[in-house]
Amino acid sequence: MADSALPVELEPRGNAGRRDLLSLVDGTGFELDLTEQDSGAADDIRFAVPAITDDDIDAVTKVLRSGWITTGAECLALEDELAEYLGVEHVIAMSSCTAALETAAAALAMKPGARVGVPVWTFVSTALAFASHGAIPVLIDIDPTTLNLSPQAVKDAVEEGLDALVVVHFGGVPVDPEIYAICADAGVPVVEDAAHALGASDDRGLIAGRGTIGACFSFYATKNLTCAEGGALVTEDPEIAAFARSFRSHGMSRDAWTRYAPGGNALYNLVMPGIKGNLPDLLATLARSQLRRFPEMQQRRRMLVDHYRERLEDLDGVSCVPTEQHLGSADHLMVVKLPRYVDRQCVIHRMATKGIGTSVHFQRLSEFAWFQDNAHVGPGGTPAADSLARQVLSLPLHSLLRRRDVDRVVDELGHALG
Ligand SMILES: Cc1ncc(COP(=O)(O)O)c(C=O)c1O
């Protein structure tokens, strides 16, 4: 496509220096007791930094010393704790959100050539997880105020013919519930790509795969809760849960934990061709440790987003995405829409020279060569996404930021815009 975005540089600067992050207190009433960690040059504001505490490190060290580092008791405990937090029956921990999406795609048992609707505005794996099972991605337009799927565009695509739909809760903002109703009426199964949405809620409660095939979460390094790499498939359906447990272990009837446990049976059967998608205990324990303080980390993100929104009002021509704050958002991203006349690449570069990391969420799937050759586009095309393609920018947002960091980011953005 003629107007594809230039490759973006996501990392701002070098990595020199250490910053003492012990007991960050910034007058907001929040105190984060953090382990001293490498967070870039003293005055760098990175786009995303994982908040790792001494408790996290102790938890990982304990597993390292335990004699069992891959999937086992820690993973089972994480599944139970996540199920309790989300209020659902079935949580299957996975090696990534991508693995969870691939599992959901396999559970749908679609015929080759099945048409699977995906937002044009998402990360590649939302669509690739289904394409790798023989589906044709159908790229659907977004609502320009949220960057989430447009209900009208979904309706049009469903009328044209979809075998399944994947929704993405972009930036942690739940999709418009009307989309579930449209799909339910047409008998189109829905999978939730909830990579950004741990802790997000809509009128069904916390996003947890309610009324859909399931929700797929990510615990990747930049996510609100991280264990470096990891994910989970969450579902209300016991058959999908049983399928997922086997599918993530190559399709074996019994996983290593039950085979090697004292008195376990070393033999197994292979019931289908699955994937290697299990989450090791070494990472599960980090996710458990983070889950214990997840509500506080989320509270802090909300405080920072509120402050960003207040400060960004000072910048002419800049608006926040979503335009209206969604109170059920997981506040995963702080996205702004830049004035149309601005060269985003220049802004990214200027911010980087000031030590401020930014990112772009997302490039449209239609910009990538593979999708151009292998995807369909929903009826009516993707005009909203196309018109925003070069205007959005993600500002730093993570639970180690302070209000004064937000002030600096907004001030520097103002200078970069001239
Ligand atoms: C919307 C979306 N879906 C899926 C993924 C894939 O997550 P993971 O890296 O855990 O596979 C990402 C990754 O950032 C994402 O942003």
Distance from the CA of 369 to the center of ligand 1, in angstroms?
A: 20
In a domain, 190, yes or no: yes
**pTM for the complete prediction?**
0.91
CATH number at residue 106: 3.40.640.10
With a 6 Å cutoff on the Cβ, whether 277 touches ligand 1 is no
With a 6 Å cutoff on the Cβ, whether 192 touches ligand 1 is no
In a domain, 7, yes or no: no
Distance from the CA of 230 to the center of ligand 1, in angstroms?
A: 10
Instruction: Count up the domains in the chain and report the number.
Output: 1
HSE-CB of 43 using CA atoms within 13 angstroms: 8
For the chain, helix (H) and strand (E) counts, in that order, are 14, 15
Q: What pLDDT, on a 0 to 100 scale, did the predictor assign at position 262?
A: 73
Catalytic residue among 62, 111, 223, 337: 223
Which single residue is written with the structure tokens 């061709």?
Answer: 273
With a 6 Å cutoff on the Cβ, whether 218 touches ligand 1 is yes
Mutating to test ligand 1, I would choose from 98, 128, 225 the residue with most ligand atoms within 8 A of its C-beta, which is 98
With a 6 Å cutoff on the Cβ, whether 363 touches ligand 1 is no
In a domain, 75, yes or no: yes
Q: What pLDDT, on a 0 to 100 scale, did the predictor assign at position 41?
A: 60
In a domain, 161, yes or no: yes
Q: What pLDDT, on a 0 to 100 scale, did the predictor assign at position 51?
A: 95
Respond yes or no: is residue 223 known to be catalytic. Answer: yes
Contact 192, 214 (CB under 8 A): yes
pLDDT in tens, 176-218: 999 999 999 999 999 999 999 999 999 999 999 999 999 999 9
In a domain, 9, yes or no: no
Structural domain range at position 388: 14-418
Task: Provide the token pair at 177.
Answer: 């519930």
In a domain, 241, yes or no: yes
Q: What pLDDT, on a 0 to 100 scale, did the predictor assign at position 114?
A: 98
CA distance 206 to 203: 8
Task: Provide the token pair at 131.
Answer: 């394409």
Distance from the CA of 316 to the center of ligand 1, in angstroms?
A: 32
In a domain, 174, yes or no: yes
Residues of the chain predicted below pLDDT 50: 1-37, 39
Task: Provide the token pair at 162.
Answer: 């979809």
| Cα R_g (the chain), whole angstroms | 21
Which single residue is written with the structure tokens 């004292």?
Answer: 262
Contact 51, 400 (CB under 8 A): yes
With a 6 Å cutoff on the Cβ, whether 122 touches ligand 1 is yes
In a domain, 8, yes or no: no
With a 6 Å cutoff on the Cβ, whether 98 touches ligand 1 is yes
Using alpha carbons, select from 218, 122, 217, 219 the residue that is nearest to residue 165.
Answer: 122
DSSP string, 251-266: TBSS-HHHHHSTT---
